Structure 1
Amino acid sequence: MPNKVNFNNDLSFSRVVYDAVPSPILVVDEDVRIIDHNQAAGDILAPSSQRVLRRRAGEVLHCLNSELSPGGCGRAEPCGQCVIRGSVNRCLDSGAVSRQRARLELNDGQKVQEVHYLVSAAPLRRQQQDLVVLILEDMGEIEELRRLLPICAKCKKVRDADELWHRVEHYFSKHLDVDFTHGLCPECAAELYPQLMGRQDRKPG
């Protein structure tokens, strides 16, 4: 029988909810140093939070730009265009929530990987310190659909990344959880059912 969580106080409840969120959440300071993170963030950052806390986000995410300067994350010229750092600065300046898409190039030690996130930043005040809560929502599948899709000129099947061909309905259902219903456009209805369409065109006088 699974163990039940005993919520002795609001703090333990908040921590369980925090860790239940499937998207990575980082709590950072003005220099994007990680003060805390949820379980989902821990899974992509490092096996031990001791290797993550108080380090800048770009360094633990292995952002390519953080490797361009000896000073690390935020010190290279391209860092001025960083969506994550910019979101933190705007959030601290305005005290308002912001949401922006970001494309990051990360080095996983074997290859450079391009990832797409929707970055949400919200202000947080804790122990007289101004912090920012960052939520990184994976936009990879949506960005993939924004690109050109190979589609068969005859049967209109779509080719996926594994070189397999699927009906359009199957492809979108798999990638966007979209269900389809079928009907007939006026042109196809007239071609398939000309007599029926002809009767509809003849209005009673």
Structure 2
Amino acid sequence: MGSTDESDFAKFLLNQMPLPVAIANSEVEVEAINTAAQKFFCLSANEAKLRRCGEVIQCIHASQPEKCGGTPACKSCVLRCSVLKSFEGKTVSRNKGFFHITKDDELKCLTVLVTTAPIDYHDTPMVIILIEDISLITELQGLLPICSVCHHIRNEQGEWLSLESYIKQHSEAELTHDYCPDCIAQAKSRSEKV
């Protein structure tokens, strides 16, 4: 494979990844993003290029006078801290954090897993960033409206779903069926009466 073929293949491979992927320089500015990242951030690759990561994800702190990287919140930013660790030569795997962003003129909280690794491109140190939005999965940790009688759960659209259906739609968990000790005792009691 020639160098042009390798470059085309690398670009092809990056764009086939289903997760948002970005490449950041030492200023924590975006050098490139893949197709999934363009959809996730609602930006073209050209619009994202050389913008601070917080600006690209539309972090609420990026619009402050100190800008992305200079606010007090930036000191504990999961994305920034992960990228900086990778510039020290470390790989960071699935570091969980939160972003308060503005999207569609609404304030939203994203729960993300950030993975970063150092890379070297033409003798220039950079960091590759993978961002997994796990907001829907972690939603199960909050309060859910559940019917006291049938145990159906009301979703975001106001529909009532069985507990099983809700968990399948909002998490990666798989359910198995079993009996708790109380139900086993009740079943035994009923069968002894027959």
Instruction: Settle same-fold status: TM greater than 0.5.
Output: yes
Q: Tell me if the contact between 2:137 and 2:172 (Cα under 8 Å) persists in the aligned partners.
A: no
| Pair 1:160–1:123, CA change in 2 (3 A) | same
Match of residue 155, structure 2, among 156, 160, 173: 160
SS at 1:114's partner residue?
strand
Alignment partners' CA distance in 1, 2:129 and 2:80 = 10
Query: Bigger shift: 85-94 or 180-189?
Result: 180-189
Give deviations 1:137-176, integer Å, cap 9, x for gaps. 0111112111122222222222212222221111112222
Where do residues 58-69 of structure 1 align in structure 2 (5 Å cutoff)?
Answer: 58-69=54-65
- Stretches of structure 1 lacking an aligned partner (at least 5 in a row): 1-7, 199-205
Q: Provide the residue aligned with 2:39 in structure 1.
A: 43
**Structure 1: which amino acid aligns with 2:117?**
A
* Larger Cα-atom Rg: 1
Amino acid in the other structure paired with 1:103: F
Give the deviation of 1:184 after TM superposition.
2.9
Give the distance between the partners of 1:81 and 1:177, measured in 2 at CA.
28
Distance 2:181 2:40 in 1: 50
Task: Give the TM-score taking structure 2 as reference length.
Answer: 0.86
Partner of 2:23: 27
In 2: Cα distance, 1:181 partner to 1:35 partner = 45
Matched, 1:9 2:5: yes
Pairs aligned (count): 190
Q: How does 1:165-176 map to 2 (within 5 A)?
A: 165-176=160-171
Q: Which amino acid aligns with 1:53?
A: K
Take 2:94 and 2:175, find their aligned partners in 1: how far apart are those partners?
Answer: 30
Q: Does 1:73 align with 2:71?
A: no
- Give deviations 1:109-144, integer Å, cap 9, x for gaps: 512121111010111011111111110001111121
Q: Which moved more, 1:183-192 or 1:97-106?
A: 183-192
Shift, 1:22, TM fit: 1.4
Q: Percent identity?
A: 27
- Specify the alignment match of 1:114 in structure 2: 109
Q: CA deviation at 1:13?
A: 2.4
Measure how far apart 1:177 and its partner are.
4.9
What SS class does the counterpart of residue 79 from structure 2 fall into? Answer: helix
2:181 corresponds to 1:186: yes
RMSD across aligned C-alpha pairs, in angstroms?
2.2
Matched, 1:124 2:127: no
